[in-house]
């Protein structure tokens, strides 16, 4: 046989076999450093190559050989490193699945709240310079009766109903002496007509008997009248007598809570909380601005956020439609080009493009756009 040394390298393993006699295949031990390098290379090509490297290392070392120790030691070291890497990957994956934490919003200070609230009122005053009570009236008695009748219905329906009522009963004395059934028939379109008839005839009798047929201008006197609460009293005081008052209707309460001016839900508590944010001289017009905005843009079910002039100041922005074009289609009354609620609105409203409401039973004029 040939005496030429034969060199065979196990692919992927870090050991070398040599032999004088190729038939015998005698193996020489590899150095520990080469064996370790072979194990590292084996990790890169797969589990099968790693197993071959370990077998080759053990064969080269024989019993107690340094190659075997290096091969098996390298395998354990590789396995240990591979095992340690898995939890790290899992932890990283789990961490990436969690949404980033948002920084907690800093509570608004009292001073910041007052400034924001007053700025909103100033902005609304520019948007609605023609804001007014949306009930038709010519004197305090008519405003008082119309306000009581506006419960659980729209101002428009009241305005369409009161002309016939006041034509037949122009004074408290006339209404107090009326036949209840006749009054019920006249105000039937406003709903709850029996209860409302009892209230307006009762307050008419009280005005006749206790106040000489005149509507009092003091809060403590107004709230004693049948069917008259603080809200109605402030409507009359602010718009018939020019005395400041905050009118907390459903629109007002909804908006001041959306704007985070207060968390209160009881009307009397809302009135007190908002009154502390504004000077008394602002109260009446503030009520008109907020109510106008609630009826035209900041609706209960679908606010037109994309068309709202105070969106940057509103904590509830995004609760409604934010697309400007879609939001524009949600605007009501003069903002949407439709008739308002008064049959006889103030001239300032007409000058701003407002359209009078039609009488009861008449067809409303078509929308004309802004």
How many DSSP H helices and E strands does the chain contain? Answer: 16, 2
> Are 263 and 302 within 8 A, CB to CB?
no
Q: Which of 249, 326, 328, 332 is catalytic?
A: 249
Would residue 249 show up in a list of annotated catalytic residues for this protein?
A: yes
- 94 by DSSP, 3-state: which? helix
> Are 316 and 310 within 8 A, CB to CB?
no
Q: Give, as one character, the DSSP assignment of residue 156.
A: H
Q: Where are the beta strands (DSSP E) in 76-177?
A: none
Would residue 231 show up in a list of annotated catalytic residues for this protein?
A: yes
Calpha distance 362→46 (Å, rounded): 87
Sign of CA dihedral 347, 348, 351, 354: negative
- Which is nearest to 290 in space by CA: 346, 243, 248? 248
> Are 121 and 256 within 8 A, CB to CB?
no
> Are 231 and 248 within 8 A, CB to CB?
yes
Q: Which of 75, 196, 231, 335 is catalytic?
A: 231
Strand partners, 73: none
- 34 by DSSP, 3-state: which? helix
Q: Give, as one character, the DSSP assignment of residue 63.
A: T
CA atoms within 13 A on the CB side of 146: 29
> Are 60 and 68 within 8 A, CB to CB?
yes
Question: 250-258 and 267-275 helices cross at what angle (nearest 10)?
Answer: 60
Q: Give, as one character, the DSSP assignment of residue 241.
A: S
- 4 by DSSP, 3-state: which? coil
User: Annotated catalytic sites, by residue?
Assistant: 231, 249
């Amino acid at each position: 046989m040939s005496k030429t040394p034969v060199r065979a390298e196990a692919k992927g393993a870090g050991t070398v076999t040599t032999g004088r006699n190729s038939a015998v295949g005698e193996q020489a031990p590899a150095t520990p450093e080469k064996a370790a390098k072979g194990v590292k290379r084996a990790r890169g090509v797969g589990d099968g190559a790693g197993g071959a490297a370990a077998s080759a290392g053990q064969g080269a070392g024989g019993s107690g050989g340094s190659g075997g120790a290096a091969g098996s030691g390298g395998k354990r070291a590789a396995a240990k490193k591979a095992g340690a890497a898995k939890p790290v990957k899992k932890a990283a994956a789990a961490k990436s699945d969690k949404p980033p934490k948002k920084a907690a919003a800093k509570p608004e200070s009292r001073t910041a709240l007052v400034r924001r609230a007053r700025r909103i009122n100033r902005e609304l005053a520019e948007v609605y310079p023609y804001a007014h009570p949306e009930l038709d009236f010519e004197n305090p008695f008519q405003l008082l009766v119309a306000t009581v009748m506006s419960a659980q219905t729209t101002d428009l329906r009241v305005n369409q109903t009161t002309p016939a009522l006041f034509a037949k009963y122009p004074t408290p004395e006339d209404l107090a002496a009326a036949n209840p059934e006749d009054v019920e028939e006249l105000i039937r379109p406003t709903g709850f007509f029996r209860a409302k008839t009892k209230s307006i005839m009762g307050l008419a009798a009280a005005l006749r008997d206790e106040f000489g047929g005149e509507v009092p201008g003091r809060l403590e006197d107004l709230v004693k009248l049948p069917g008259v609460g603080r809200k109605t009293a402030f409507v009359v005081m602010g718009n018939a007598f020019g005395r400041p008052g905050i009118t907390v209707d459903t629109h007002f309460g909804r908006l001041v809570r959306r704007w985070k001016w207060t968390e209160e839900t009881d009307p009397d508590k809302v009135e007190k909380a908002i009154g502390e944010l504004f000077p008394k001289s602002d109260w009446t017009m503030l009520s008109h601005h907020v109510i106008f905005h609630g009826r035209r843009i900041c609706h209960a079910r679908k606010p037109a956020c994309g068309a709202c002039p105070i969106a940057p100041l509103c904590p509830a922005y995004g609760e409604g439609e934010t697309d400007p074009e879609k939001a524009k289609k949600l605007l009501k009354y003069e903002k949407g080009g439709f008739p308002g609620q008064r049959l006889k609105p103030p001239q300032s409203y007409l000058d701003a493009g407002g359209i009078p409401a039609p009488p009861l039973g008449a067809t409303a004029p078509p929308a004309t756009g802004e």
